[in-house]
């Protein structure tokens, strides 16, 4: 799509955290740099301009003004590495607005902030399309790319920027370029509408009686009541009218996963599956428009399909290669998949006493869980008892310290920096390198919040001067249950995998050190961005034994003061046999 706006790797499906140029101008003749979020206290995410919702308007105005100054500056520069730094600063300036607005519109409980973030996002994206089709910037980056004395990273940045410009259609005739710009804006609007519809209407159904929902899930849903009438021979009396309790069940992705795994009532699973995979109905029209716009864009850009257009700048480079990989993988696993399917179908027939029963799509999670419980004597609720969320976070901190020598510390918010009482802020510190970055944790489900789990970049890291590095700021957003009564929030093993995965994205952003924010953290090729997070979430499987000791009070009871020593030895064993190679690979990937 564009030079400055490469999409950041986030679990969020259409995150607008995209790359623009980001960097800072070292030349003393360059215009003064805009203030960073750390230069003044207070304001949402540490940006002083965001002390109020309407601050987003000023945020956009300042970014447009600053990028305009830098465009003029770049157009006058001779071929040099300073061109790349100035382009990177434009990217950093614009992406700060895009990424902050994206996080705000998906998590902020105040509707005014959400609406202002929406407006800001669309304004800055439209400005971004102007930047991505600016001929003077394109000419400047081509001049810079030909300089043989650039550093390796600067050379790669110049190449990436030029490629992104061309992906935005800057090399096309004027009429086609204008159409590409309109299509990109339309696609951005449709993507926004698609996700807003999901947040507004994630789907729900009413289940009666309440007994059809497992007791341990009752606290997740809103109780509802319907009248039931006791049939009598005579006239119906008021005292004969009773109310039956039920639940209004949400079918957002997180809740749907739990329903399909734990609900024994096949009809409830079926209705939940259908509702969860068909709502919101408004998105059918949005999808049709989106498919049409993407296809037209791809054809103008000389591609047969949008898949070919989207993949060609990534590592896979070709949709044909991707299809080949998937088909070959399918052949490899087909035999094992067929075996597992038949085993699960036979297990269902045995449990349900039906010889001709088929395995339905809404059966997979339920019977997989039941088979594991039967074969390995596993109870999901007992497993969840080992994973109080607070202790899982402590376990992650210990692993990060063990693997990378860095420590997370909880830090206080400045005025207006947080967006909800549940949010906490952590800094990552290394004894030799100092502060590495900041992480916001927004982990609990609430109304109006993005329904999945995602890593959001707020600010990328970059080298501002020889002595100053702009620290990355990221947010980890999840939708875990808050727990009931005095019971601490607990997560199942599937949620633990998700937490590890998203935490891996956050670590990728916090640990990477790049001259240009264009390459900071997850701002890499999309088919590479999942590698560090997948390496990290392996730990959710290989490290369960260590976590059992960490997360239960029995550890302290059984080993007394030596429980820390036992835990340390467990981590050491884990590092030797599992993490050593993985951590080295993780660091090489940063």
Cα 335 vs. chain centroid, distance in angstroms? 33
SS (H, E, C) 474-526: EEEEEEECCCCCCCCCECCHHHHHHHHHHHHHHHHHHHCCCCCHHHCCCCCCH
Cα 216 vs. chain centroid, distance in angstroms? 28
Q: If we measure between CA atoms, which residue out of 340, 387, 333, 378 comes closest to residue 540? A: 387
How far is the C-alpha of 97 from the C-alpha of 94, rounded, in Å?
5
How far is the C-alpha of 371 from the C-alpha of 364, rounded, in Å?
10
User: Is the Cα torsion angle 536, 538, 541, 544 positive or negative in sign?
Assistant: negative
- Provide the pairing of β-strand 434-444 with 473-480: parallel
If you write DSSP's letter for every residue of 448-463 in order, what string do you get? TS-SS-EEEEEE--EE
Coil, strand, or helix at residue 1? coil
Structure tokens at 274: 């259908």
Task: Report the run of H or E that residue 6 belongs to, with start and end.
Answer: strand 6-7
Structure tokens at 105: 């519109």
The b/e string for 148-184 (b: 16+ C-beta within 10 A; e otherwise) is eebeeebbebbebbbebbbbbbbebeeeebebbbebb
Structure tokens at 75: 């157009």
Catalytic residue among 244, 502, 548, 553: 502
How far is the C-alpha of 470 from the C-alpha of 580, rounded, in Å?
29
Q: If we measure between CA atoms, which residue out of 395, 385, 378, 394 comes closest to residue 490? A: 385
The torsion region of residue 109 among left (phi > 0), alpha (psi -120 to 50) and beta comes to: alpha
If you write DSSP's letter for every residue of 210-228 in order, what string do you get? GGGS-GGGGGGSEEEEEEE
For residue 356, the tally of other CB atoms under 10 A from its CB is 5
Strands of 127-256 (E only): list them: 204-207, 222-229, 241-250
Residue 537 near residue 42, CB atoms below 8 Å: no
Phi, psi of 235 (to 5 degrees): -75, 140
**Could you confirm whether 244 is annotated as catalytic?**
no
How far is the C-alpha of 243 from the C-alpha of 271, rounded, in Å?
23
Structure tokens at 495: 């949620």
Rounded to whole angstroms, what are the CA distances from 333 to 328, 338, 361? 9, 9, 19
Residue 102 near residue 15, CB atoms below 8 Å: yes
Catalytic residue IDs: 502
């Amino acid at each position: 799509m564009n030079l400055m706006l490469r999409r950041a790797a986030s679990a969020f499906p259409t995150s607008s955290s995209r790359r623009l140029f980001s960097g800072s101008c070292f030349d003393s003749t360059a215009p003064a740099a805009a203030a960073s979020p750390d230069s003044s206290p207070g304001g949402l995410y540490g940006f002083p301009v965001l002390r109020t919702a309407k601050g987003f308007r000023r945020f956009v105005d300042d970014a447009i003004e600053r990028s305009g100054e830098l465009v003029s500056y770049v157009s006058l520069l001779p071929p040099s590495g300073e061109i790349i730094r100035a382009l990177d600063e434009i990217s950093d300036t614009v992406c700060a607005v895009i990424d902050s607005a994206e996080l705000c519109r998906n998590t902020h409980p105040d509707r005014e902030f959400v609406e202002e973030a929406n407006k800001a996002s669309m304004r800055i994206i439209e400005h971004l399309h102007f930047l991505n089709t600016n001929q003077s910037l394109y000419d400047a980056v081509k001049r810079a790319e030909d300089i043989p004395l650039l550093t390796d990273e600067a050379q790669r940045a110049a190449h990436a920027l030029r490629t992104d410009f061309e992906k935005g259609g800057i090399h096309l005739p004027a009429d086609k370029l204008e159409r590409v710009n309109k299509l990109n804006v339309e696609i951005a609007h449709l993507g926004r509408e698609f996700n807003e519809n999901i947040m507004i209407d994630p789907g729900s159904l009413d289940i009666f009686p309440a007994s059809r929902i497992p007791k341990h899930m009752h606290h997740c849903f809103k109780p509802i009541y319907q009248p039931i009438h006791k049939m009598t021979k005579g006239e119906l009396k008021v005292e004969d009218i009773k109310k039956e309790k039920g639940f209004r069940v949400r079918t957002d992705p997180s809740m749907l996963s739990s329903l399909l795994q734990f609900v024994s009532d096949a009809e409830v699973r079926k209705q939940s599956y259908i509702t969860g995979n068909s709502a919101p109905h408004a998105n059918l029209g949005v999808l049709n428009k989106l498919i049409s716009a993407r296809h037209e864009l791809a054809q103008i850009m000389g591609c047969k399909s949008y898949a070919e257009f989207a993949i060609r700048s990534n590592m896979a480079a070709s949709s044909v290669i991707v299809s080949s990989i998937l088909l070959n993988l399918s052949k490899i696993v087909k035999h094992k998949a067929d075996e597992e399917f038949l085993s699960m179908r036979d297990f269902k027939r045995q449990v349900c006493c039906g010889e001709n029963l088929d395995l339905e799509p809404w059966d997979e999670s339920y019977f997989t869980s039941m088979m594991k419980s039967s074969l390995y004597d596993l109870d999901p609720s007992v497993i969840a008892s080992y994973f109080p969320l607070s202790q899982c976070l402590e376990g992650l901190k210990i692993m990060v310290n063990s693997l990378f020598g860095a420590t997370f510390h909880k830090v206080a918010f400045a005025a207006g920096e947080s967006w909800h009482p549940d949010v906490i802020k952590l800094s990552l510190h290394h004894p030799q390198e100092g502060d590495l970055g900041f992480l916001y944790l927004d982990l609990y489900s609430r109304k109006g919040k993005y329904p999945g789990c995602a890593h959001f970049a707020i600010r990328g890291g970059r080298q501002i001067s020889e002595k100053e590095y702009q620290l990355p700021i990221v947010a980890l957003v999840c939708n875990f249950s808050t727990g009931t009564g005095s019971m601490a929030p607990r997560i199942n093993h599937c949620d633990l995998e998700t937490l590890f995965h998203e935490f891996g994205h956050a670590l990728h952003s916090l640990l990477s050190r790049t001259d240009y924010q264009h390459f900071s953290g997850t701002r890499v090729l999309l088919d590479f961005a999942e590698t560090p997070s997948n390496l990290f979430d392996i730990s959710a499987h290989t490290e369960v034994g260590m976590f059992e000791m960490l997360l239960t009070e029995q550890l302290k009871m059984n080993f007394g003061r030596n429980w820390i020593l036992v835990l340390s030895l467990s981590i050491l064993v884990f590092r030797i046999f599992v993490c050593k190679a993985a951590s080295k690979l993780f660091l090489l990937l940063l």
